[in-house]
Each structure stands twice: as structure tokens, then as C-alpha cells.
Amino acid sequence: MMGCLPTKQVGRSTHSLNPREAVALAAETSCENVDLPDFVNIATGTPFTVNEVEALYDLFRKLSNSIIKDGLIHKEEFHLALFRNKKTNLFVDRVFDLFDQKGNGVIEFDEFVRSLSVFHPDAPEEQKAGFAFKLYDLRQTGFIERRELKEMVLALLDESDLNITSDAVEMIVDRTFDQADTKGDERIDQEEWNEFVKNNPYVLRNMTLPYLKDLTMVFPSFVIHSEVSEADMVA
């Protein structure tokens, strides 16, 4: 274990290091406290391996410093990552709000990983269904109302430049809503939603990102430099 040195005295050039190595070296040798997240802890309970969480950290750092350089993902940065422009979008706002589990207006790294884990192919269907339900419960009343469904359909049509008649919109919304609202109380509750999703699995198509299973393939440079090997992790 090296003693700590004031950062200025670290002889080795940092040009040859990738960002994680540079941070790790600084952490080992400097007297300042460089806070790397607890990758092992964050990976626990998710389908991600520790290596994959490290890969996500590099992505997170890029996203969280794209507009406001504070290592936290703000709504505009989230938007930029998905849309490459700053036009507002109802659905991005909902996804952002769900990722922001603490509700403090920013997405922190552990929130980022835990929310993404729901989109992993190996995440349980119930988790995906639960997330989607909260997404679509626009006013967070615990129910999806007919007008919320209509609002979302209109938002999608607007986003896609699809110009269908309001009669057609009514028909689509009503047909779907009536199918889901089996209790007939003008709102879809969790139970009705779970049943609906079971009968219409395609509804959750957006809740799975297949390549989350191959993250280290998508970012190959991260595999080689991992500080922590899986073998070390066996507790």
C-alpha cells in the first residue's frame, strides 16, 4: 500500500492512462479523497456484473458531465443523450422522473444503475410491468386514467408526425382502455395492468434493452482495465 503524496509529486505521466486508471492512481497516491462508487454494492441485486457496473460508470460520467459538469445527470443531459436535441418530450420526462428515485431532480450513479437494471433482459417481468405502470401513471395517482392514456397517444402521434383524426384517436384509446379496465371503474389499477400485460406482452417491448446483457461488448475498452476481478468478489 503506497503512502499518500500530494498530487503534484506523482511522477508518472497521466497521458497514457484512461480516465479510470487516472482516477484510480490518484486515489492510491494522493491525499485527496477520490470517491469512486462502491461498484460491488451497486451491482448487488441487479443482473449486472461488477465489470458491467464499471462500464456503466464510464458512460455515466460522460452523460453527467455533458452540460453541467457536476457528475450528476440533469434532465437536459438525459434529454440530450436520448434525443440529441433539447425538444421537450413527455416520455423522456417520465423516464427521468422514475430514474430519479430520490426525487431530488438529478440522477445519481446508483439510481442510474438500479433503474437501468429493470431494462436488462434478465430482469423479472413483474419489475418491468411495475416500472411501465409508474411511467404511464402520469399524475402518480396509483392509477392510469383514460385521459392520461389519450394524452400519451396524442404525444406519440405528435412526436411521430402522424396526423390521425380525433375520432380515430378516441377509438384506439377507448378500445384499449376498455380492454384493460376489466373492473369498469374508469381507471386501470396495478392488478388490471398486470393482467393486461400478461395478455399483451408486446406492450412491454420498450422495457428491455437486449444489449444490456452484453455491455462489456458494447464498450470493449473497459474489459481490460477492470480493477476488480470476479474471482476476488466471492464472499
Among 44, 104, 179, 221, binds other proteins (CB under 8 A): 179
Distance CA 152, CA 149 (A): 5
The stretch among 10-18, 30-38, 102-110, 165-173 that binds other proteins (CB under 8 A) is 165-173
Residues 98-157 that bind other proteins (CB under 8 A): 116, 119, 135-136, 149, 152-153, 155-157
* Cell numbers describing residue 182: 376489466
Residue 91 CB, shortest distance to other proteins, in Å, is 3
CB of 117 to other proteins, least distance (A): 12
5 is a site residue for other proteins (CB under 8 A): no
Q: Of the candidates 55, 100, 24, which has an alpha carbon nearest to the alpha carbon of residue 214?
A: 55
CA–CA distances in Å: residue 48 to residues 43, 65, 195: 6, 23, 28
- Residue 172 binding other proteins, by CB under 8 A: yes
* Stretch 29-68 residues interacting with other proteins (CB under 8 A): 59, 63
**CB neighbours of 108 closer than 8 A, spacing ≥ 6?**
72, 73, 102
CA 180 to chain centre: 27
The residues, any chain, with a CB within 8 Å of residue 212's CB and separated by 6 or more, are 47, 48, 116, 119, 120, 121
Return the number of the residue (16 or 163) whose C-beta is nearest other proteins.
Answer: 163
Closer by beta carbon to other proteins, 6 or else 19: 19
The stretch near other proteins (CB under 8 A) out of 6-14, 30-38, 79-87, 226-234 is 79-87
User: Nearest to residue 1, comparing CAs of 27, 19, 20?
Assistant: 27
For the chain, where are the E strands, in sequence order?
144-145, 187-188
Q: Is residue 177 part of the contact set for other proteins (CB under 8 A)?
A: yes
Residues making contact with other proteins (CB under 8 A):
59, 63, 81-85, 89-95, 116, 119, 135-136, 149, 152-153, 155-157, 159-164, 168, 172-173, 175-177, 179-180, 196, 200, 202-206, 209, 211, 218
